[in-house]
Amino acid sequence: MNKFVGRLIVLGLPLAIITAFAVLFAGLAITQPEPERAENVARPSAVFVTEAQPGVVRLSVATQGEVTPLTEIDLTAQVSGRIAFVNPSFVDGGFFEAGEVLVRLEDEDYRLSVTRAEAQVAQARQQLIREEAEGDLAREEWEALGEGEASALTLRQPQMAEARAQLAAAQATLDEARLHLRRTQITAPFDGRVRAKSADLGQFVSAGVRLGRVFSTDRVQVRLPLTHADLAVLDLPLVFQATQANPGRPAHLSASVAGRMRSWEGYLVRTDSAIDSRTRTMSAIIEVNDPYGAAALRSGAPLAVGLFVTATIEGRELDRAFELPRSALRGANEVFVAERDGTLSIRQVSVVDSTAERVVITAGVDPGDRIVISPLRGAANGMLVRALDGDGRPLDPDLSEGADDHNQNSEARSGQAAVSRTN
C-alpha cells in the first residue's frame, strides 16, 4: 500500500505542477490589457513651389551641327610641268590671300611658245600689209586702164581675206600661249586657308592633277537638323531663302574651345533643298561672316572649320504663356500644383517648347498657381503637401499646422490613387 501511494505521488506531482503553471499562464493571458492601436496620422510632404505668371515668351530651338566652309575647292594644275616654286603659306592650315601665287610651274617651254606665236603674228601681219598694198595697186591700175566693174579676184580681195584669217589664227595661237604661261602660276580666287596639300617642290604634275584642297575664310556655314516641331516653333517654311527685306533669323552659336565656352553670332539664311530621307528632318543653314577675323575678335576664338557647335535660334513670340523651370514638367505633359487647401493637384498641360532649363506652357495652369518644382514620390491627387518658397519658408503656415487633423480616409484615398497611377 505504501509503495502504491509513493508511486502515485511520484507520477502525479509533476502533472500537478504542469497543470498549475498552465492555469496560471491562462489567467495572465486573460487578464492582460489589450495593447493600444497606434493611429497613422497623414503628414504633408514638403515641396518647393514657384508661382505661375503669364507673360510674353520668345520661343527658341536648340540644335547642334558641324562648321563647314561655304566655299571649298580642289586646287588643280591646268597645264603640265615640274613644280618650281611653292609658297611658304601653301601648307596644311596655312592662310593665303586672293590672287597670291601658291604654286608655280617651270615656264621656259611656255615662254618659248609665246615667242614663236609672236613671230607668227608678225609674219601674218606683214603678209596682210603686203596683200592690202597689192590690192590698192590693183584698184588703181583698174581705174586707169580697165572698163566696167572689177572682179574681186582682180582687186585681190580673196588674198586679203586669207591674210586676215592667217593673222587672226596667229593671234589666237599667241593668246593661247600667253594663257598657258599665266596658268603656270596657280592661285585661288579668294582669301582662304589650306585644308590639305597634295604636291610639293620638284614634282612633275599633269593638267588636272590635284595639288591641294583650300577653302574660303570669308564665311562659314553650319547645317542644323530641324524636326517638324522645331519648324513650328520657328514658324519657318520648308522653302526659305534670306533676302534684303528678310535677312534671316538670328542664331547664337556656342562651343567649348580649349576648355572655355565661346560664342558667335550668325543668321539662318536658308533651308535645305529636300527633307533627309533617313532622319525625316529638314536642315537649316546658319552662316557666320569673317569667322577668322571679326567673329574671332568678338568671341576670343575663331569659329574653326570642323568645330561641333550648339546653335540656339530665335523663334516666334507668344503673347501669353507660362515660362517655368524644366523641373516643373512631369513626364510629357503634366505638372503638380500645390493647392491653397494643402492638397496636391495633378494637371495636364499644353507644352509648346522645352529645353534643359525651361518649359513653356500655354494651357493647363492658371495665373497664381503654385507649381511644384522639387521631386515628389508617390504623387497623387488629393495627397497632403506643404508648399515652401525658394528660401524654405512655408507659404501656408496655418494649413500646414492643421494638416495633422486630416483623417485616415484621405491618406487611404491618396495611396489608392498612387497605386492606380503606378499601374
- Per-residue pLDDT 10s for the chain (423 aa) are 555 556 656 566 666 677 776 766 666 666 666 656 656 656 788 888 888 888 888 888 889 999 999 999 999 999 999 999 999 999 999 999 999 999 999 999 999 999 999 999 999 999 888 888 887 787 777 777 766 677 777 777 788 888 889 999 999 999 999 999 999 999 999 999 999 999 999 999 999 999 999 999 999 999 999 988 888 888 888 888 888 777 778 899 999 988 899 999 999 999 888 888 888 888 999 999 999 988 888 888 999 999 999 999 888 888 888 888 888 888 888 888 888 888 888 888 888 888 778 888 888 888 888 888 888 888 888 888 888 887 778 777 654 444 444 433 343 334 333 333 433
Asked if 204 and 251 sit in the same domain, the reply is no
User: Is 157 among the domain residues?
Assistant: no
Decide the pairing of beta strands 45-51 and 385-388: parallel
The residue from 259, 291, 317 where one domain ends is 317
Amino acid at site 66: E
The count of domains in the chain is 3
Distances (CA, A) of 362 to 57, 229, 313, 321, 324: 10, 16, 20, 5, 11
Distances (CA, A) of 225 to 55, 191, 209, 269, 303: 30, 29, 36, 14, 19
Total residue length of the chain: 423
Asked if 238 and 298 sit in the same domain, the reply is yes
Asked if 206 and 225 sit in the same domain, the reply is no
User: Is 3 among the domain residues?
Assistant: no
Asked if 226 and 278 sit in the same domain, the reply is yes
User: Is 275 among the domain residues?
Assistant: yes
Which CATH number is 84's domain given?
2.40.50.100
* Closest C-alpha to 180, from 238, 95, 131, 107: 107
- 215 alpha-carbon distance from chain centroid: 21
User: Is 137 among the domain residues?
Assistant: no
Q: What is the DSSP string of 124-144?
A: HHHHHHHHHHHHHHHHHHHHH
Cα(292)–Cα(295) distance, integer angstroms = 6
Instruction: Check residue 195 and give its pLDDT.
Output: 94
Decide the pairing of beta strands 370-372 and 210-216: unpaired
User: Is 413 among the domain residues?
Assistant: yes
Name the burial class of residue 170, with classes exposed (0-12), middle (13-18) and buried (19+) by CB atoms within 10 angstroms of its CB. Answer: buried
The residue from 299, 317, 335 where one domain ends is 317
User: Is 12 among the domain residues?
Assistant: no
Cα(118)–Cα(125) distance, integer angstroms = 10
User: Is 306 among the domain residues?
Assistant: yes
Distances (CA, A) of 185 to 28, 78, 199: 117, 10, 14
Range of the domain at 86: 73-106+184-217
Asked if 331 and 364 sit in the same domain, the reply is yes
